[in-house]
Structure 1
């Protein structure tokens, strides 16, 4: 798989479980495009599992500059969140978060045991997930005089890009366009042949 032009994520939420010495670990895998939902999901899981002793999480958000976060939620440092994060990394998954709920079984597992258990639950959730390959989209802004509107629209269409949004300001218009990253070189070459426009990169997602 070409991870330069594509990324791996999940199609829908998935769950997985792991048991060790009486303790039960339940992993919940969610897709998300930003971190705003992490706190809400964690709070909901705590309400759904009032007898759980820990709700650990790890996330990888973003395409190029991937933001990675993890939290041990009271477990020994590095014994919970990091192993879960490593499962996401080893599977090359992004725009995802895994939450692992732990029910204590009365016996301490030690740090090696915790690492194995949290990773095991996270791995089970990933194995139960439907993973999909998504093409990375490049978003650009085009500014042109309104008198060149139809010419620019024609070139955008011929180049294979999609118009995401058009706004008008007096005698000018702004386009937000997007296209698959693997088309970037050819599409930009065609767009840059239009001396009437200003072209600005916005984001990848």
Structure 2
């Protein structure tokens, strides 16, 4: 089971540039949430830089469990994706994608030269980025009769919760997001009402 914890990510996309022996390494760093979002970003970048020799990348995702991956895109094994990923780790970031687009300058850099180039390009983008701390949240569904709405709204405020949505089709249901470890507090508040108010942890 993965343990939720706070992590650092990017506030907004950032860019960098590194040049070596005629080759240009354009780096782009993005805050991301899912692998599907990463796929869409990569497709867009490949379309924009269709004439580039290589589009290499690495990413780190925090949830639902730690997922890290790098891709060399035709460069010698572990000369691009790995150094990019190592920079993400060095900056202690999660939910981040870093892409380095290479335009070949006519001179081969060798294995060590490529590793240094992709490392430096990734570093340039991350150095320019503004980072934020993301505090993990939990989600709950609360089922209640309408006459107890006032009580529940006070509880939500007391646990620093946020209402995500409401469902009034049958019994009144409210979906909320709170900081971690509020389940016991919410269920204790329900006890005086017996089974009339139900709290269900969703995530």
**TM class by shorter-chain length?**
0.7 to 0.9
Please state whether the residue corresponding to 2:132 is helix, strand or coil: strand
Distance 1:149 1:8 in 2: 36
Cα deviation code 1:88-112 (max 9, x no counterpart): 1221211221110001122222222
Cα deviation code 1:89-147 (max 9, x no counterpart): 22121122111000112222222221111111000000011112222222222233445
Cα deviation code 1:136-165 (max 9, x no counterpart): 222222233445433322322233322222
- Cα distance 1:133–1:159, how it changes in 2: closer, same or farther (>3 A)? closer
- What is aligned with 1:190? 185
- What is aligned with 1:20? 20
Distance 2:13 2:89 in 1: 18
**What TM-score does the superposition give when structure 1 sets the normalisation length?**
0.84
Q: What does residue range 140-179 of structure 1 map to in structure 2 within 5 Å?
A: 140-170=140-170, 172-179=171-178
Q: What does residue range 48-127 of structure 1 map to in structure 2 within 5 Å?
A: 48-63=48-63, 65-127=65-127
Distance 2:46 2:156 in 1: 49
Distance 2:158 2:10 in 1: 32
**What TM-score does the superposition give when structure 2 sets the normalisation length?**
0.84
Q: CA RMSD in A?
A: 2.2
Cα deviation code 1:37-96 (max 9, x no counterpart): 323322332333233100011111234612222211111221111211111122121122
Cα offset for 1:35?
A: 2.0
Q: Which has the higher strand share?
A: 1
* Unpaired stretches in structure 2, ≥5 consecutive residues: none
- What is aligned with 1:135? 135
- Checking the alignment, whether the CA contact within 8 Å between 1:30 and 1:96 is kept in structure 2 is yes
Query: How many residues are treated as equivalent by the alignment?
Result: 196
